[in-house]
Structure 1
Amino acid sequence: MSSRTDLLAWVNELLQINYTKVEQCGSGGAYCQIMDSIYGDVPMNRVKMSAKHEYEYLANFKVLQNVFKAKRIDKPIPVEKLVKCKMQDNLEFLQWIKKFWEANYGGQGYDAVARRKGAALEPPATVAPVPTSRSTPGVAGGNRAGGRTPLGGFRSGSALSNEHVQQLQAQVAELNGQLEGLEKERDFYFEKLREIEILVQEQIESTEESGKEESVVFGKIQKILYSTEDGFEVPEQGVPVDEEETF
């Protein structure tokens, strides 16, 4: 398999672009033009090589899917993974597409810039940004004098508002799910530590009552349980604190 450095050098030379990361292929534009270098009939006028938004990424992959279907290429395209611009997912797909190119490219000359009709090309972002009120398309300078985005959503007239709201809602739902899992894990380990603490305390009190010498092991365990770090101090005595928050 080709390394990331080799793949980037190959893509940049073939397509006359200046990608610096494999993740930038997640915009879909490079994949489309690689296929165009093989067949010469990809509708490049529909490919946004400087895509900045996820809806543009998805549009590029729609073009790529149509090419695969028309050429009867039996290879699933993991669009949902690729558009997230993760290095490993795009590295694996780029390795496959390079092998496909090597097996099918006829050696004919390919003018990548001409196929893009000389359009200005900027490397795509590795994460598709979600527009905010400061970067609303069509507003000079990013802000409209006296205008603010309503709390309920985006300005009326934005063709992308519903899609962006759905993206944000999905992100919130995912984060809430992760938070719930972390809280359950925290409670699970807290209960275990609490049981150990009670057991150690009972053993120490038992040795004190019987007049026996305190167990060195239990003393060390208790010291570990009560040790602190900077920024995570045990509250002062007499100050009521929720045990869950203290943990």
Structure 2
Amino acid sequence: MAASRTDLLAWLNDLLQINYTKVEQCGSGGAYCQVLDSIYGDVPMTRVKMNAKHEYEYIANFKVMQNIFKAKKIDKPIPVEKLVKCKMQDNLEFLQWIKRFWDANYGGQGYDPVARRKGAPADPPATIAPLSTTRSGSGPNLSVAGGRSGGRTPVGGHRSGSAQSHEAVLHLQTQVKELSSHLEGLEKERDFYFEKLRDIEILVQQQIEVLEGEGKDDQTLRDIQKILYSTEEGFEVPEAGGAPIDEEETF
């Protein structure tokens, strides 16, 4: 029988000495990586951002995890695209699998999670709220409430600017809806091109592995791979400090 969310969070918080309150927070990937470290003791925790705040940092954590799976020959697909969206059901199912894997492979050895993180902060990551939450009315409703609470009608008469204030609030609500729709379009466009780049990355990696198996190389493929893995300021993945895990980036 699968463990409940409450039981899983209690186990995770006790094992890693963190303070997660929702299963969705596992979508940052940091906790999954450290659970594996509690089993093997050689995960490059210097590369894992336990307090990741952005999706690109989540993806970097899962790349570390994929390298672990490859090095340890763990035959389990990691649904990265779903997990990084921080949806409860997807992360619940994966956390249940992680718990079963831990139960089957943890040797009972002592584990100091704080020392393995070298004191790095492990604040619970913020989950990504879907844009539909804003469009459904939570943002505009708050605006209306704020406008009404600050615009009480005096006893004995109408407030002179109340009609204009209401009109201004309606205008702001319209702007919020338009911006939310625009952001949703940008997110879909980003995901569209991200998937294309990911498909290219997989094809390039597979071809390089085939050539390496034949004792050959292809500089063009190497150049494409270099472009795919290049970073810019603000998006660097921390360098590993002599970690035993294969540092080859696979996705």
TM-score under structure 2 normalisation? 0.53
Say whether residues 1:170 and 2:187 are aligned partners: yes
Query: How many Å separate the matches in 2 of 1:88 and 1:109?
Result: 31
Contact 2:50/2:121 (8 A) holds in 1: no
Counterpart of 2:57?
Answer: 56
Which amino acid is 2:188 matched to? Q
Q: Which residues of structure 2 form unaligned runs of 5+?
A: 132-182, 192-251
Say whether residues 1:34 and 2:35 are aligned partners: yes
The higher relative CO (CA closer than 8 Å, separation ≥ 6) is in 2
Aligned-residue Cα RMSD (Å) equals 2.4
Query: How many Å separate the matches in 2 of 1:167 and 1:103?
Result: 42
Q: Give the secondary-structure state (helix, strand or coil) at the position aligned to 2:120.
A: coil
Query: How many Å separate the matches in 1 of 2:112 and 2:190?
Result: 45
Q: Which residues of structure 1 form unaligned runs of 5+?
A: 131-165, 175-247
Q: Give the 3 Å change call, closer, same or farther, for CA 167–29 of structure 1 in structure 2.
A: farther
Query: How many Å separate the matches in 1 of 2:184 and 2:65?
Result: 23
Counterpart of 2:127?
Answer: 126
1:180-224 deviation line (CA, Å, top 9, x unaligned): xxxxxxxxxxxxxxxxxxxxxxxxxxxxxxxxxxxxxxxxxxxxx
Counterpart of 1:237?
Answer: none
Tell me by how many angstroms 1:171 deviates: 3.1
Contact 1:82/1:90 (8 A) holds in 2: yes
Counterpart of 2:89?
Answer: 88
**Equivalent runs, 1:152-231 vs 2, <5 Å:** 169-171=186-188
Counterpart of 1:71?
Answer: 72
TM-score under structure 1 normalisation? 0.53
Counterpart of 1:16?
Answer: 17
Query: How many Å separate the matches in 2 of 1:169 and 1:127?
Result: 16
Query: How many Å separate the matches in 1 of 2:93 and 2:24?
Result: 11
> Percent of pairs identical after alignment?
79
Q: Give the 3 Å change call, closer, same or farther, for CA 25–173 of structure 1 in structure 2.
A: closer
